[in-house]
Amino acid sequence: MQQKYYLRASLSKEILRMKETVKIASIATIAILCGWMLQSNLGCSNENMPYSQIPYCCISPQVPTSLTFAGEEITLTQHDRRERMDREILAFTYSHINTMLQIKRANRLFPIVEPILKECGVPDDFKYLMIIESNGDIHARSAVGAAGLWQFMEKTGREYGLEVNNHVDERYNIEKATRAACKYLKKSYEEFGNWMTVAASYNAGTANISKRIEAQKQSNAIDLVLVPETSRYLFRLLAVKCIFADPINYGFIIKKSDLYPPLPIKSTITIDKSSVSWPDVARKHNLTFLQLREANPWMRSSTMPNSARKSYTVLIPDAEALHYDPKKTQPHDYKWIIR
């Protein structure tokens, strides 16, 4: 027994030493990689490399001199523009979880949103506005009650044709909410004739932006004195476009298997009964209510009274295909991944 105890104790000590060795080796590897990155980015020789006691590095990404948004060239050399852009690029670069999730979710969402933007005559770059509004979270809801990918308030959603009540909330319907957002954006463009100003109005409201344009005698919202939230909003939009164009450049190493594939939709059905139990509908298609709702997030309760016998289109996911092999995921944009 005593011999077994000594053997067990000896093995435990050896395992601890091995773990410590692996830990030290990992830290050393990170330090070497960070040193290489610093040397590469700062252009330093080995002799002139800065020393850091922290085994990782934070590098300030370069700010582009200009950027195109919705076909409009935006110069970023002006000091205030450059520093505002710098702040947002830093924020998204080092907000690792949110930015990584935005890219992963975009692989599922952009194939749905992009054709609608094109059909409605709205520049493709406004898909990034959807990203900064909700982080690409289909269930997003703000503290003030804005909901869905495009973060419509209840009143605004209804004004643009969305049904909003305790049982159905079409602010969470990806297609319908995107079309409603397009209506808002096009109407705003008719008033301002400038897409960056349209983006500002989406955050602050058209009336607010109109008053500031008149008071400050500037036609482009990027040059207006705005509340901090809206001022930052414009450069968040530009920063996200910048990072999505080259995630690797900002430190996001993503494999195609990391991306979220589009939900596999097997069929669509039309529901027009006077009363609907969504769990019963799900069960008929070998699904759980949770799985059905993931494809139809506008369902806000497990049952739906429908005395008006209104018709609702319901997406039915493929129950088997919901169990997917990540290695078979196809990237919507190959710029997002390493190969």
pLDDT band at residue 57 under the 50/70/90 scheme: confident
261-265 average pLDDT score: 97
299-318 average pLDDT score: 97
pLDDT number for residue 10: 52
The pair phi, psi for residue 301, each rounded to 5°, is -150, 165
Fold classification of 66-257 is: Lysozyme (1.10.530)
* Cα separation, 299 vs 279, whole angstroms: 11
Please, what's the b/e burial string for 70-91 (b: 16 or more CB within 10 A of its CB; e: otherwise)?
A: beeebebeeeebeebbbebbbe
pLDDT number for residue 13: 54
pLDDT band at residue 318 under the 50/70/90 scheme: very high
97-126 average pLDDT score: 98
> Which residue intervals of 276-331 are DSSP H helices?
278-284, 289-295
Cβ-count burial of 311 within 10 angstroms (0-12 exposed, 13-18 middle, 19+ buried)? exposed
Residues 174-206 have pLDDT tens digits of 999 999 999 999 999 999 999 999 999 999 999
pLDDT number for residue 36: 55
Pairing verdict, β 66-69 and 312-317: unpaired
- DSSP track, 68-98: EETTEEEE--SHHHHHHHHHHHHHHHH-HHH
* Residue ranges covered by each domain of the chain: 1-59, 66-257, 262-323
pLDDT number for residue 11: 46
Task: Examine the pLDDT at 35 and tell me if it is beyond 50.
Answer: yes
pLDDT number for residue 339: 86
